[in-house]
Structure 1
Amino acid sequence: MKGSSPCRGNVEHKVNDNPIEQVRLTVPIDDDPTMPVLTFRTWILGVISCALLAFLNQFFGYRQNPIFISSVPVQIVVLPIGKLMAATLPSKPIRVPMTKWAFSMNPGPFNIKEHVLITIFANCGAGTVYAVGIITAVMAFYKRSLNRGAALLLVQTTQLLGYGWAGLFRKFLIDSPYMWWPFNLVQVSLFRALHEEEKRPKGGSTRLQFFLMVLITSFCYYIVPGYLFGSITAISLVCLIWKKSITAHQIGSGLQGLGIGSFSLDWSQIVAFLGSPLATPAFAIVNIMVGFCLMIYIVVPIAYWTNAYEAKKFPIYSSDVFDANGQPYNLSRVINSKDFTLNKEGYNNYTKINLSVLFSFTYGLSFATLAATLSHVALFHGRTIWQQTKAALGDQEGDVHTRLMKKNYEGVPQWWFHLIFVVVFALSILTCEGFGKQIQLPSWGILLACALALVFTLPIGIITATTNQTPGLNVITEMIIGYMYPGRPLANMAFKTYGYISMAQALTFLSDFKLGHYMKIPPKSMFLVQLVGTVVASTTYFFTAWWLLTSVEHICDRSKLPIGSPWTCPGDRVFYNASIIWGLVGPLRMFGSQGLYEKMNYFFLVGLILPIPFWVLTRMFPNVKWLKLVNMPIILGGTAMMPPARTVNYITWGAVGLFFNLVVYKRFKGWWARHNYVLSAGLDAGIAFMGLLIFYALQNNNVNGITWWGQQQDDHCPLAACPTAPGISAEGCPLIQ
């Protein structure tokens, strides 16, 4: 692909380009359809990259401070390897025995389209496999066995089911120039930096030179927060000043409190839960931070210090479940060990489940977010969806990228998507109805999960494609099956995964398709790579998790693990607690008439109504630009990642994102266009390489460095998790009389 200027601002180019300025500044508008794509190099490097990333991400995912390794390091490493293969492999065609097919191991120079497809493979390995959380919950937390065949099929079917209907929404979410998928611009920038010949500007650097400088700096720096001085991952100034005050620790802790005065000097902490702030549009960051501030600095403090839901008996921030006396909930008293269902007599003789005030309001806001998503998309995008529906019956021309793709390449037939759905749906029924019905979910549950995912894929896809944030279906799916099929935690987790992840996988498929759209990759090649990559990644995730769960003693059990053990599984603990709330005990006993949190259901109505006044205002004042940027689903879902995300993650993420995508973007647009996404990629890559080096060279060999207070990955606010109600005892906390 030939280089082209990133700055194309005249009127003629705007008409023949893309209406989104960030896309115009980043994505080239030319194509070379003669480039070989699905080559021997693509398959070998792609499959290895996919499997390697899947193994590493699952391995690190169980650790106290999980390291997420994106596809960016692979994107860098495979370039010299691909060029080496192009220089050394034989070019003579090799005929496949008993067929007319032949291929060459070396069809010519290693090109950018091969590189893109290898990265798509890597993206499959870099994504999460949600169903592994079910296996972990059952084996590590509930301490029960699970049939390996059923577990493997559960992983595969939940990852593949959404591909069946992703094809239905390609016209809306790929061909439309207004669905621009912001995160893809990071990888587009890096591809161009690695492949295009660029003349170094006077007194400056090329994008590749800049990327290498950032990578080396990030690599060298990460040894400080990652090994030598872990405390700078979360610095809480208030706690360091008032060391003996519970209230000060609750207000100041960035890990277990409200985070006032806290910040992080660790990029991995900044991007851990919300992704790169450099890849998120400024208006989306503003919406998220407005929602965060309203929740953390208004709703939670008022609720806690007025003792709503007896909040002072519990930590102000926690994802655990408690009994009425402020103690960890004793699950053995309410579960039948034989059939893995709720022991109603035991539950009635014990106490109702209690949540921390932040955790309970997080669920309420998730209700509001889902309702707001539907009303927001209907009001603000309903006309566009209808117009595109009509255009889909004809020939929609689209922007320059859509025209090039239609001109040069044959599209994926719709029946390919239908075939995948039929096959995977049948395997899903087998997974749940076979193997002694160990999964607990009946076949009608699969049908209902598919219906929910199908309904929400388009509205949530629109939000994802324009804001880089994805509201989840995890809570609403848990609630629906919890009411319809209560007392069965495994069925609840399975239904949630089939409903939520099939939608999420459809969006992942479409996101990668948009990357291929920008980079002019033949659609059929994209489809095949994504399908194979998903199977390879989910298989690797499963066997890595199974190996760790059966080989690491007391994995995920903080009470039995040795001091300093990293195998605490923080993300899976949230998943497990949710299965207790929604599956074992059920929403009727939590958010219904028999529970403590019935009033949280009003959030559904709040979410449905809130987008309406802002839509009315945009109609009344069409020239007020900021009104059009108010996105209620994003505001209400601002704290959707809490827990496991902490306040320090949000505070530092928001500050960095607003600085680069608001201040730098407005004042130094030329620098932003050349370097912003490359900066994000370089920071990610440096941390990934150093994180692996630290683990395998040092920590894996029990070389843990000098023991001192700053080495702990903690913000030194031990009292932040203490209850403040009189007479409630907690380990390490003063008893208040």
Structure 2
Amino acid sequence: MTSPASRDSQGTPSLPFTTAVDEKLSSGSAGKFGPDEENFKSMADDTMLIKGTPVIQSGADVSNFVVDDRDDGDPALTFRSFFLGTVIAGLGAALAQAGLAMIYIFKPTVVTVSGIFLLLILYTLGNAWALLLPQRHVFEARGWRRLAKVAHFVNPGTFGLKEHVAATIIASTASGASSAVNNFALFYDASVNATTAVLATFSTAVFGYGLVGLLRPLTVHPAEMVYWGQLPTVTVFQSLHWDMATTSKRIRMFWYSFTAMAIWEIFPAYIFPTLNGISIFCIASVHANPNTRTVFTNIFGGANGNEGLGLGSISLDWQYIGSTYLALPLLQQGNSWIGFIICYVAMAGIYYGNVWNAKNYPMLSTSIFTLNGTRYNQTFVFGPSFRLNETALQIEGLPQLAGPTVWTYMTACWSIGGLLAHCLLFWRGYARESFRLAKTGKQPDRHWVVSAMQKYREVPWWWYGLLLTLSFLAGLIVVLKGSTTLPVYGYIIALLLGSFIAPFSNLLVARLGNGIATNQLMKMVAGALHPGKPVSNLYFSMWSHDVVQTAVILAGDLKMGQYLKIPPRVLFSAQVWGTIVGAFVNYAVMASIVSSQRVTLLDPRGTNVWSGADVQSLNSAAVTWSLAGKIYGAHGHYIWVPIGLILGMIPTTIQYIIFKRWPVIAGVNVDSIILPVIYMYAGWMSSGVNSIILSTILTGIVSQVWVRRYHPGWYRKYIYVLGGAFDGGAQVMIFMLSFAAYGASGNPRPFPTWWGNPSGNADHCMEL
């Protein structure tokens, strides 16, 4: 245990960062601050102050006032951190579907699993290890020097922050899985070879990591590359290890909030599911006529998967709300709110206006249908060879999509076009400057330039080059030996496309905390290259879109390592090892879930516990894009979807021209309107649990508008700790409920039916 007045790596007393900042602000001192010897006053020159306290607005503010630059020089990669990280990586995924990251792929709403969950398990085990296993001094006292060395290797003493981070990164990196393999096993009645699954997962993850390594001067090192979703995890790490005094408000707040949320989560997740979608309109319409109830369900229902738009519903289920909306900057959230408004209007208008024959199908569904609304028999159309059978296609007809799903595909294309245009027009100067600073060995982020971080050896460029080579060879084996139907040239084009898109996606996620789904672009290209081959489309998307997604996730871990002063070579080793472990264990998880929940996962609606909405969406896109000429071509039913790529670029280009002439209009900075983000959220509600939308908006307003601006001191010290505690408590309880109630360890044990747990939709809307 370390006290608040512990010592840094130079042996000089240092207070926790937030305390030191408060003292500097209150005293007005212009003295030196932090190991980088920067003047504190100069750090605050460009920062908004309220009552002498900085308001967190930019990446520089996060770097200077939120995250401590302290480095105690403690070891990171030890036998203990390696062993615990490996065990939790395997245990968390392999225990009968209990891996939370994989579980949420098959949930009504896909949720990014917070690192807090694994962090807390490892914190408990690491401290127990340090306490229960004998240490060196026990054997030295008896003169047993050799045993003392062994004991020190096994138990070096206090479970330190860097050991904790290394173990957590090993465990969290192992959670990635292959989307193509999931779909292949679920929709094509095919048993996936273990070698194919393992090599495919390894290939996509390692290639993404290789890209991140090459791009890190642009997407990781600078201060504006925040990766906002990592801040609750970073703050919890520092609080647990550096703020342990019995009177510490932050640590007490963490454990009280964690415990309260864990207890609370039992109610919306199990006992009282209505709390996940409190809809006055649904409750009031219980005795209305069927037509009225149907409309109310489509517009106001949303507690169950693919139920409705959830307009006006309030959710009190934190597992779906998450700390993201406590951490995401106001710039991102404000743009997303505009998108939500458009989404409500557009989707209701498309369905009730019967655009694209929308009324023939459920209002919300990611499945594919025949023209009369039955589920599409893709196995019949593509046969055992996974190639188009024209005769079968004539019998079954072209696959059809739910109207709001077509809208989502279209807005996704707008988002991709808008993202490319926004990065090239608005952020190209930033990219050039970042590479210039990297070339000269300078970066504006004090967490990168401080002497404590610079003393660690950097990862050589050729290490990342070697990773790219190994991942390419692993993927090549899958293409040549697996049933992918993807030719080698298609595989190479997929990797090149993913490599091109990755920097753009990383820039957006790092600066705003939320990215753009690029899957539609990948499937569009695959459909043009490999018509009539949906499985080929899936694998093409995996080696393009999944590479981008992995690059974004691993870049966030690199930023966390930078904030917490983890030696780069240790971080590299932890991520690569975690990827190798995850490639094996996630195959077992995928096979187990697909086998036990197959019927539910194939159902267009699913349940409020299990849903195939995410994998259904990927499969539907793969099937329809494999018939691109017939469906999205000049005479196709959905021609406006691919045109969206160009349409997304045009408004951003016009916006840039306006910005150059009038940078501020009516008090609004023109460049603060991020059109690709608006487009993405304009198609947000095509599936899943939508009753959470208003709750996420309210969470963002409270945290970013009220607390951040009017209580900046409390925000800076507590908001990320609170978010991390809530995430940890909710996800630990979901982990336990997966075994105890949801059927992860055998038969499910549903809670008895009552008003708060109705047999139909949880929000009391009509079950359609």
Structure 1: 4+ residue segments shifted above 6 A: 65-68, 100-103, 198-201
Counterpart mapping for 1:410-559 below 5 A: 410-435=457-482, 438-550=483-595, 554=599, 556-558=601-603
**Structure 1 residue 101: Cα displacement:** 12
Match of 1:89 among 117, 122, 133: 133
Query: Normalising by structure 1, what TM-score?
Result: 0.88
Task: Decide whether the 8 Å contact of 1:3 with 1:28 is kept in 2.
Answer: no
Q: Could you tell me which amino acid in structure 2 is paired with residue 115 of structure 1?
A: H
Tell me the distance in 2 between the aligned counterparts of 1:567 and 1:305: 28
Cα deviation, 1:500-533, whole Å, max 9, x if unaligned, reads 1112212222111110101111000000001001
Task: Decide whether the 8 Å contact of 2:283 with 2:765 is kept in 1.
Answer: no
Tell me the distance in 2 between the aligned counterparts of 1:397 and 1:477: 34
Matched, 1:605 2:656: no
**Structure 1 residue 553: Cα displacement:** 7.0
Q: Compare 304-313 and 226-235 and name the one that shifted more.
A: 304-313
**Structure 1 residue 91: Cα displacement:** 4.2
Tell me the distance in 1 between the aligned counterparts of 2:607 and 2:425: 52
Tell me the distance in 1 between the aligned counterparts of 2:608 and 2:190: 23
Tell me the distance in 2 between the aligned counterparts of 1:4 and 1:487: 60
Match of 1:122 among 160, 171, 176: 171
**Structure 1 residue 233: Cα displacement:** 1.1
Task: Decide whether the 8 Å contact of 2:108 with 2:689 is kept in 1.
Answer: no
**Structure 1 residue 643: Cα displacement:** 3.9
Counterpart mapping for 1:281-296 below 5 A: 281-296=329-344
Tell me the distance in 2 between the aligned counterparts of 1:294 and 1:67: 23
Identify the residue that residue 267 of structure 1 maps to in structure 2: 318
CA 1:30 to 1:430, structure 2 compared with 1: closer, same or farther past 3 Å?
same
Q: Could you tell me which amino acid in structure 2 is paired with residue 226 of structure 1?
A: A
Match of 2:681 among 629, 635, 638: 638
2:601 counterpart SS class: coil
Q: Compare 155-164 and 13-22 and name the one that shifted more.
A: 13-22
Q: State the identity %.
A: 24
Task: Decide whether the 8 Å contact of 1:3 with 1:196 is kept in 2.
Answer: no
**Structure 1 residue 207: Cα displacement:** 0.7
Match of 1:20 among 60, 76, 88: 60
Match of 1:226 among 257, 264, 269: 269
**Structure 1 residue 551: Cα displacement:** 5.7
Tell me the distance in 2 between the aligned counterparts of 1:80 and 1:259: 39
**Structure 1 residue 331: Cα displacement:** 3.0
Identify the residue that residue 54 of structure 1 maps to in structure 2: 93
**Structure 1 residue 587: Cα displacement:** 1.8
Identify the residue that residue 375 of structure 2 maps to in structure 1: 328
1:262 counterpart SS class: coil
Tell me the distance in 1 between the aligned counterparts of 2:608 and 2:279: 24
Tell me the distance in 2 between the aligned counterparts of 1:594 and 1:151: 38
Task: Decide whether the 8 Å contact of 1:253 with 1:715 is kept in 2.
Answer: no
1:183 counterpart SS class: helix
Q: Could you tell me which amino acid in structure 2 is paired with residue 588 of structure 1?
A: G
**Structure 1 residue 650: Cα displacement:** 2.4
Task: Decide whether the 8 Å contact of 2:243 with 2:250 is kept in 1.
Answer: no
CA 1:649 to 1:77, structure 2 compared with 1: closer, same or farther past 3 Å?
same
Matched, 1:309 2:383: no
Identify the residue that residue 33 of structure 2 maps to in structure 1: none
Match of 1:666 among 705, 709, 712: 709
Task: Decide whether the 8 Å contact of 1:23 with 1:185 is kept in 2.
Answer: no
Tell me the distance in 1 between the aligned counterparts of 2:67 and 2:678: 29
Tell me the distance in 1 between the aligned counterparts of 2:81 and 2:683: 37
Q: Compare 479-488 and 103-112 and name the one that shifted more.
A: 103-112
**Structure 1 residue 216: Cα displacement:** 1.1
Matched, 1:209 2:259: no
CA 1:16 to 1:32, structure 2 compared with 1: closer, same or farther past 3 Å?
farther
Matched, 1:77 2:77: no
CA 1:236 to 1:484, structure 2 compared with 1: closer, same or farther past 3 Å?
same
CA 1:543 to 1:253, structure 2 compared with 1: closer, same or farther past 3 Å?
same
**Structure 1 residue 481: Cα displacement:** 0.7
Match of 1:106 among 137, 150, 155: 155
Q: Compare 407-416 and 621-630 and name the one that shifted more.
A: 621-630
Matched, 1:318 2:365: yes
**Structure 1 residue 23: Cα displacement:** 3.4
1:85 counterpart SS class: helix
**Structure 1 residue 388: Cα displacement:** 2.5
Task: Decide whether the 8 Å contact of 2:274 with 2:762 is kept in 1.
Answer: yes
Counterpart mapping for 1:152-163 below 5 A: 152-163=198-209
Tell me the distance in 2 between the aligned counterparts of 1:250 and 1:549: 29
Tell me the distance in 1 between the aligned counterparts of 2:671 and 2:258: 37
Tell me the distance in 2 between the aligned counterparts of 1:393 and 1:276: 34
CA 1:218 to 1:663, structure 2 compared with 1: closer, same or farther past 3 Å?
same
Identify the residue that residue 592 of structure 1 maps to in structure 2: 633
Tell me the distance in 1 between the aligned counterparts of 2:122 and 2:593: 28
CA 1:551 to 1:361, structure 2 compared with 1: closer, same or farther past 3 Å?
closer
Task: Decide whether the 8 Å contact of 2:59 with 2:223 is kept in 1.
Answer: yes
Identify the residue that residue 45 of structure 1 maps to in structure 2: 84
**Structure 1 residue 225: Cα displacement:** 1.1
**Structure 1 residue 167: Cα displacement:** 1.7
Counterpart mapping for 1:355-366 below 5 A: 355-366=401-412
1:334 counterpart SS class: helix
Task: Decide whether the 8 Å contact of 2:600 with 2:607 is kept in 1.
Answer: no
Match of 1:185 among 200, 222, 231: 231
CA 1:4 to 1:614, structure 2 compared with 1: closer, same or farther past 3 Å?
farther
Tell me the distance in 2 between the aligned counterparts of 1:170 and 1:277: 26
Task: Decide whether the 8 Å contact of 1:152 with 1:539 is kept in 2.
Answer: yes
Q: Could you tell me which amino acid in structure 2 is paired with residue 252 of structure 1?
A: F
Identify the residue that residue 279 of structure 1 maps to in structure 2: 327
CA 1:211 to 1:557, structure 2 compared with 1: closer, same or farther past 3 Å?
same
Tell me the distance in 1 between the aligned counterparts of 2:391 and 2:580: 44
Task: Decide whether the 8 Å contact of 1:16 with 1:399 is kept in 2.
Answer: no
Q: Compare 236-245 and 407-416 and name the one that shifted more.
A: 236-245
Task: Decide whether the 8 Å contact of 2:459 with 2:569 is kept in 1.
Answer: yes
Counterpart mapping for 1:687-726 below 5 A: 687-700=730-743, 702-712=748-758, 714-716=761-763, 719=766
CA 1:177 to 1:539, structure 2 compared with 1: closer, same or farther past 3 Å?
same
Task: Decide whether the 8 Å contact of 1:86 with 1:106 is kept in 2.
Answer: yes
Task: Decide whether the 8 Å contact of 1:236 with 1:715 is kept in 2.
Answer: no
Match of 1:5 among 17, 21, 26: 17
Tell me the distance in 2 between the aligned counterparts of 1:477 and 1:682: 37
**Structure 1 residue 315: Cα displacement:** 2.6
Task: Decide whether the 8 Å contact of 2:273 with 2:762 is kept in 1.
Answer: no
Identify the residue that residue 423 of structure 2 maps to in structure 1: 377
Tell me the distance in 2 between the aligned counterparts of 1:227 and 1:643: 25
Match of 1:139 among 158, 164, 185: 185
Tell me the distance in 2 between the aligned counterparts of 1:683 and 1:310: 43
Aligned length: 700
Matched, 1:256 2:307: yes
**Structure 1 residue 575: Cα displacement:** 2.6
CA 1:460 to 1:692, structure 2 compared with 1: closer, same or farther past 3 Å?
closer
Tell me the distance in 2 between the aligned counterparts of 1:350 and 1:552: 27
Task: Decide whether the 8 Å contact of 1:141 with 1:556 is kept in 2.
Answer: no
Which ranges in structure 2 are unaligned for 5 or more consecutive residues? 1-7, 9-13, 31-38, 45-57
Task: Decide whether the 8 Å contact of 2:313 with 2:691 is kept in 1.
Answer: yes
**Structure 1 residue 79: Cα displacement:** 2.5
**Structure 1 residue 406: Cα displacement:** 5.2
Cα deviation, 1:383-425, whole Å, max 9, x if unaligned, reads 1212233333322243321112553211000000000111110
Identify the residue that residue 725 of structure 1 maps to in structure 2: none
